Amino acid sequence: MDKEAIKFHIQGLLKAIGEDPEREGLVETPERVANMLEEVLEGTAYSNHDIARMFGKTFTDESNGESESAVVMKDLTVFSYCEHHLALMYDMKVNVAYVPRGKVLGLSKIARICDMAAKRLQLQERLGRDIAEIISEAAGTPDVGVVISGCHSCMTARGIRNASSVTVTTTYIGEFKTNSELKKLVAFD
């Protein structure tokens, strides 16, 4: 990430909206924004494959693949930025489930995968697909379900200004596509 370019352009943006980038409250704003973007968009530096490798710590599944039980994590919180308006996507809850096929992921790794995939300019639909793809690779399973619920400031704070709107997206791969019982595991209550 080119933080010097970000600082230069933020200073230009401040001027373009009629602000004085030299006034007390704004002098350090370009640097603060560059630091913030480096942090909140960290995931842009990594491919889905990279993230799967980073957080792919697994343990042997004691059932040796004989069980059809799923690992389910609900209400993981993330936020992201919409690639259309650079607007915040917030109050996002992610439910993830997968059927182990010989190995299971460390639980914190699932949360880290969701967090890192969200740290990109994103669409909520793509975020679900990215998480499913990363979990599938990291856990070595074709069977993954991801459901995301979130608010988008491009809907709530501008344009239509519908403050109560919530967007829900679903991504099902493998057995989750056709198995209604598996879909119920990952659904919001």
Distance CA 34, CA 26 (A): 13
Active-site residue (options: 9, 19, 42, 154): 154
Largest CA distance in the chain: 66
Give the pLDDT confidence of 83-107 residue by residue, as tens digits.
Answer: 999 999 999 999 999 999 999 999 9
Catalytic residue among 19, 31, 42, 82: 82
pLDDT of residue 61: 82
Q: Among 22, 28, 68, 83, which one carries the catalytic annotation?
A: 83
What local confidence, expressed as pLDDT, does residue 63 receive? 66
For Cα atoms 121, 88, 137, give the angle at the middle one, nearest 5 degrees.
Answer: 40
Gap between the Cα atoms of 40 and 80, Å rounded: 8
The amino acid at 186 = V
For residue 84, indicate whether it is catalytic.
yes
d(CA 99, CA 67): 9
Catalytic residue among 28, 84, 125, 181: 84
**Is 154 part of the annotated catalytic residue set?**
yes
pLDDT tens-digit profile, the chain (189 residues): 999 999 999 999 999 999 999 999 999 999 999 999 999 999 999 999 999 999 999 999 876 555 568 999 999 999 999 999 999 999 999 999 999 999 999 999 999 999 999 999 999 999 999 999 999 999 999 999 999 999 999 999 999 999 999 999 999 999 999 999 999 999 998
- Please indicate whether residue 82 is annotated as part of the active site: yes
pTM listed for this prediction? 0.94
Instruction: Pull the structure tokens for residue 1.
Output: 């990430």
* 160: nearest Cα among 170, 152, 149: 152
Please confirm, yes or no, whether 122 is among the known catalytic residues: no
Q: Is 9 a catalytic residue?
A: no
Q: Which of 124, 133, 151, 175 is catalytic?
A: 124
Per the annotation, the verdict on 49 as an active-site residue is no
Q: What are phi and psi of 118, to 5 degrees?
A: -75, -20
Instruction: With both helix axes pointing from N to C terminus, report the angle between 107-118 and 124-139 in degrees, rounded to the nearest 10.
Output: 140
Q: Are 187 and 96 in contact (CB under 8 A)?
A: no
